[in-house]
Structure 1
Amino acid sequence: QQRFGVEENNVPSAMSPAGLTGAEMGLPLDQQTIADYLKKAGYQSIYLGKWHLGGADRYHPLKRGFDEFYGFRGGARSYWPYVTPPQDPLRRWERDYKNFIEHEGYLTDAIADEAVEVIERHQDAPFFLFVSFNAVHTPMNYLENDLPDGNIRLTQKRQQLYAMTKAMDRACGQIIDKLDELGLTENTLIVFSNDNGGAWINYSSNHPLSGVKGTHLEGGIRVPFLLRYGDRFEGDTTFDHPISTFDLLPTFVDVAGGDKNDLKNVDGVSLIPFLNGKKNYRPHKTLYWKKETRATIRDGDWKLIRLPDRPAMLFNIAKDPVEAYDLARKRPEKVKTLYKKLFNWEVTLKRSLWVTKRQNSKRAIDTFDKYRQ
């Protein structure tokens, strides 16, 4: 995403007026979405839940390739329907374009119910369903019935997270059950993943990994990724090499029978040949992360983290996944090589279209230090 000028979080309260702010922060219009590509392959595309790719009308899902939308444009909102309109208009619940009608009941359940209806409506033709739960993002709203019983010992805050996670797990089960019921499972690619590691603000734990959301430690960037495609791949297996959510677009285009030649300047690769055994090497030898002056490179099993207030740190992730042992002093040549390679990548990027306030950099460093094991 840095290639087209999106580098920082889209969090209105944290943004500097030096760049785009508010509803103007959105996916640039010259970028095609997954739905744009799949439309060419004959797919109907439906987006449910949290959008967070631009609040202005020109960024609306129905103007970015999707055919149906049931969700909200912002990054967070209450899990309960608003009785009066929220102060932030991007938190309003919306069906398709500007039909602002609040959902009924608990939001995670409402998204699941809509997903089931979507599958029933589109079962006879190719469809792409993007279900973007806001769970388990703050605010910590939950159903009392989902709290753990007395046999599970958790702090009060962790009990709330448990309940929110349980609701999302139940919602995912509803979706899979509906695919099974309609006989669609064998011909449906199902992916479950997340956009960042667990956050401290909702009492997540990334143990045994170091770090949280917003850091480039493994706990901040390593996320669950579950994939199922009928019986095409052996079940209960683990793919050991790093992949990226950048790989979703080419994977979906591949499965949909789209034209791979349409994918220009795309960093991801289709995962299908790696999962079916046709390719037996790393999908990505090198991966990069960047937020303002903070940046990270992983090259093979070596990972270099660059922070603005200290020398670069070096870890061997294969031997030290919790990033307990900084090897920078022992391997100065490796540091020099990776530092240069990281910089050479950075100079290919566009300047960020929006930036956070300087104070956010200090908070990010404090978070890094607090949550490093």
Structure 2
Amino acid sequence: MKRTVLFVTVLLVVAGVVAHQNQTPLLLALLKYQSANEYQVGPPRDIPWNQGPEEAVAPLGERPPNIVLIVADDLGYNDISIFGGGLADGRVKTPHIDQLAQDGVVFTQSYSGAGTCAPSRAMLMTGRYPSRTGFEFTPTPSGMAPMVSRISAEMDSGLPSSLYDSDLDHSKPPYEQQGLPPEEVTIAEVLKGQGYATFHIGKWHLGRQNGMAPHQQGFDQSLLMASALYLPEDDPNVVNAKLDFDPIDQFLWARLGFANSFNSGDQDRFEPRGYLTDYWTDESINIIKANRNRPFFLYLGHWGVHTPLQATKEDYEAVGDIKPHRKRVYAGMIRSLDRSVGRINAALEEAGLADNTLVIFTNDNGGPGYIGLPDINKPFRGWKLSQFEGGIRVPLMMKWPAKIAAGTVAEEPVAHIDVMPTLTAAAGAAQPQNVIIDGKNLLPLATGKGEEAWSRDTLFWQSGHYRVVRHKDWKLQVTARPDKQWLFNLAEDPNEKNNLAASEPEKVAALMTLLDAHAAASRPSLYPPVSEQPIAIDKTRHERFEEGDEYIYWPN
């Protein structure tokens, strides 16, 4: 009660001041105060992970494989050194991620489910398009849409104005209650029914209440990212990089804290024991050690390398004198993410589990332009918050020594909807009954067994008025804001430089027929978008948008 009274007092004082001043800094300060006092956050604690049997339930080669799914956040395609050389003209390498790729299969044309994280994660968990689940947009914390729109309006970036629907925003459920419906069947539920011990660590972003938290969606236990600082802002071991040119970054620094929760969704918060990427890796290794004698599924949803940009001092120093400062901090974050992959693979080796463990690494969407680093998605065009290749082309690699030969390369277009049916098949489980799965099992491509029978011509993406189809090598993007079409032949133009929409009207018409049929079979969105942000396709947020530059409005 005292906190509420104090907050109201501060609000009244601020309201009297901001009438004659620029409101944003004061409103952000007020938001930061409110967020800091919103939840009680306890001290670090030991996590009581379930313990497997002391003796193996069956010899390793006679039981289903362990499965470790690692999902990075906002990692640029070029940030992986085996793909594009690595950040800072190749100075920042990712040797452990590279080794994972070399030891198994790499899919050279792999796609996220969407240009933002939450729909992609829903597709990873269910194998289903948003047209079936209704989970089409990424839920954002309370106050984010109006605050980002306000900050954008006060910046002289040259971009068109943001769009924001206040009435719709206030009519939606709160952030914690926007998620994947409980009736959807997740891969965790499938594997749990197959006798797996199931564990979630890190980001979820598919709901925290009303049956939508990970421990209510098939995971036996969940160590959940309850807020999103990697370390407290003033921690003596952290190096921060704030982006004064990015409205999203300004909001996140004001809104976020340093907290996890355990099997409680949005409640019972406590501080992590160290830098978030390293802490979650420590706990992942604890799970591996405790469950070495039975099949387990570990979903590690890393926050790295999403903003706010925070690296440990050790990683910041290790990457060397990289300019500008934000790139050096970002490089340190990549180093910690790569180290995590290496440590998890080493833990599997040490436990004697590596041969019969399927390890998958992917990313939720392309790297964002709003961090102001122009080369992170090279050679592809576009960013997160778009569905150009830079926004949806992501790494997908799988290692399973018992089944997949090292150095395998698969060139067929694949996507996040394929992960769920692939894991189902690997575990020897049946597909869910009375549920349409849009994805396909990738194991024939990875193992070369049945590869000749594997076929798919068409993939879809949708985010409100922004719709995309890839049919064979042709890709059509359609938006209402601006009213425009982009048509590319990806076999000849994988970087989407030559728009053929005007010169290939018959091809546009054929692909529009596919898009319209997909839309006609879609269910309505569960949580319609309350804002639309203009996104420059070819420039970062740090660069000024000029007349004639191409852009899209991203609904969310």
* Common topology (TM > 0.5): yes
Q: Which sits farther off after the overlay, 318-327 or 348-357?
A: 348-357
Match of 1:183 in 2: 352
- Whether 2:260 is the aligned partner of 1:93: answer yes
- Whether 2:228 is the aligned partner of 1:77: answer yes
What's the CA shift string for 1:153-185, capped at 9, x where partnerless? Answer: 442211111100100111111110000111101
8 Å contact 2:318–2:332 — kept in the other structure? no
Which of 483, 503, 522 is the equivalent residue of 1:310?
483
| Counterpart residue identity of residue 132, structure 1 | G
What's the CA shift string for 1:81-118, capped at 9, x where partnerless? Answer: 599xx996997311222442211111111000000000
| Counterpart residue identity of residue 232, structure 1 | K
Structure 2 residue matching 1:260: 3-state secondary structure? coil
| Counterpart residue identity of residue 521, structure 2 | T
| Counterpart residue identity of residue 212, structure 2 | Y
Q: Which sits farther off after the overlay, 92-101 or 171-180?
A: 92-101
- Whether 2:338 is the aligned partner of 1:169: answer yes
Match of 1:207 in 2: 378
Structure 2 residues without counterparts, runs of 5 or longer: 1-128, 146-167, 235-252, 541-549, 552-556
| Counterpart residue identity of residue 523, structure 2 | K
Q: Percent identity?
A: 31
| Counterpart residue identity of residue 31, structure 1 | E
Give distance in 2, aligned partners of 1:262 and 1:176: 34
Give distance in 2, aligned partners of 1:213 and 1:345: 23
Give distance in 1, aligned partners of 2:504 and 2:369: 32
Number of residue pairs aligned between Structure 1 and Structure 2: 365
8 Å contact 1:242–1:283 — kept in the other structure? no
Match of 2:501 in 1: 328
Give distance in 1, aligned partners of 2:287 and 2:218: 17
Match of 1:218 in 2: 389
Q: By how many angstroms is 1:202 displaced?
A: 3.3
- Whether 2:10 is the aligned partner of 1:10: answer no
Q: By how many angstroms is 1:56 displaced?
A: 1.8
8 Å contact 1:55–1:90 — kept in the other structure? no
| Counterpart residue identity of residue 259, structure 1 | A
Structure 1 residue matching 2:408: 3-state secondary structure? coil
| Counterpart residue identity of residue 64, structure 1 | Q
Q: By how many angstroms is 1:207 displaced?
A: 1.0
Match of 1:67 in 2: 220
Structure 1 residues without counterparts, runs of 5 or longer: none
Query: Which structure is higher in RCO with an 8 Å CA cutoff and minimum separation 6?
Result: 2
When the two structures are superposed, what TM-score results if normalisation uses the length of structure 1? 0.91
- Whether 2:198 is the aligned partner of 1:27: answer no
8 Å contact 2:356–2:402 — kept in the other structure? no
Q: By how many angstroms is 1:355 displaced?
A: 2.3
Structure 2 residue matching 1:174: 3-state secondary structure? helix
Match of 1:53 in 2: 206
Q: Which sits farther off after the overlay, 281-290 or 145-154?
A: 145-154
| Counterpart residue identity of residue 137, structure 2 | E
The structure-2 alpha-carbon separation of the partners of 1:33 and 1:53, relative to structure 1 and needing over 3 Å to count, comes to same
Q: Which sits farther off after the overlay, 94-103 or 31-40?
A: 94-103
Q: By how many angstroms is 1:370 displaced?
A: 3.8
Q: By how many angstroms is 1:356 displaced?
A: 2.3
Give distance in 1, aligned partners of 2:201 and 2:478: 36
Q: By how many angstroms is 1:40 displaced?
A: 1.1
What's the CA shift string for 1:168-214, capped at 9, x where partnerless? Answer: 11111111000011110111100000110011233451011001001
When the two structures are superposed, what TM-score results if normalisation uses the length of structure 2? 0.62
Match of 1:349 in 2: 522
Q: By how many angstroms is 1:141 displaced?
A: 1.0
8 Å contact 1:195–1:223 — kept in the other structure? yes
Give distance in 2, aligned partners of 1:150 and 1:46: 32
What's the CA shift string for 1:311-335, capped at 9, x where partnerless? Answer: 3111001110110001112211000
Give distance in 2, aligned partners of 1:152 and 1:248: 39
Q: By how many angstroms is 1:151 displaced?
A: 6.0
| Counterpart residue identity of residue 369, structure 2 | W
| Counterpart residue identity of residue 218, structure 1 | E
Structure 1 runs of 4+ aligned residues shifted over 6 Å read 86-91
How do residues 233-252 of structure 1 correspond to structure 2 at under 5 angstroms? 233-252=404-423
The structure-2 alpha-carbon separation of the partners of 1:354 and 1:91, relative to structure 1 and needing over 3 Å to count, comes to farther
Q: Which sits farther off after the overlay, 202-211 or 133-142?
A: 202-211
| Counterpart residue identity of residue 287, structure 1 | L
8 Å contact 1:296–1:342 — kept in the other structure? yes
The structure-2 alpha-carbon separation of the partners of 1:150 and 1:39, relative to structure 1 and needing over 3 Å to count, comes to closer
| Counterpart residue identity of residue 340, structure 1 | T
8 Å contact 1:250–1:270 — kept in the other structure? yes
Give distance in 1, aligned partners of 2:269 and 2:210: 13
Structure 2 residue matching 1:179: 3-state secondary structure? helix
What's the CA shift string for 1:140-160, capped at 9, x where partnerless? Answer: 111111126586644221111
Alignment root-mean-square deviation, CA: 2.4
Structure 2 residue matching 1:238: 3-state secondary structure? strand
- Whether 2:127 is the aligned partner of 1:127: answer no
8 Å contact 2:203–2:225 — kept in the other structure? yes
Match of 2:307 in 1: 138
Structure 2 residue matching 1:79: 3-state secondary structure? coil
Give distance in 2, aligned partners of 1:90 and 1:337: 49
Give distance in 2, aligned partners of 1:289 and 1:152: 40
| Counterpart residue identity of residue 304, structure 1 | L
- Whether 2:190 is the aligned partner of 1:37: answer yes
Give distance in 2, aligned partners of 1:334 and 1:352: 29
Q: By how many angstroms is 1:233 displaced?
A: 2.0
8 Å contact 1:93–1:100 — kept in the other structure? yes
| Counterpart residue identity of residue 300, structure 1 | K
| Counterpart residue identity of residue 284, structure 2 | A
Give distance in 1, aligned partners of 2:522 and 2:257: 29
The structure-2 alpha-carbon separation of the partners of 1:331 and 1:193, relative to structure 1 and needing over 3 Å to count, comes to same
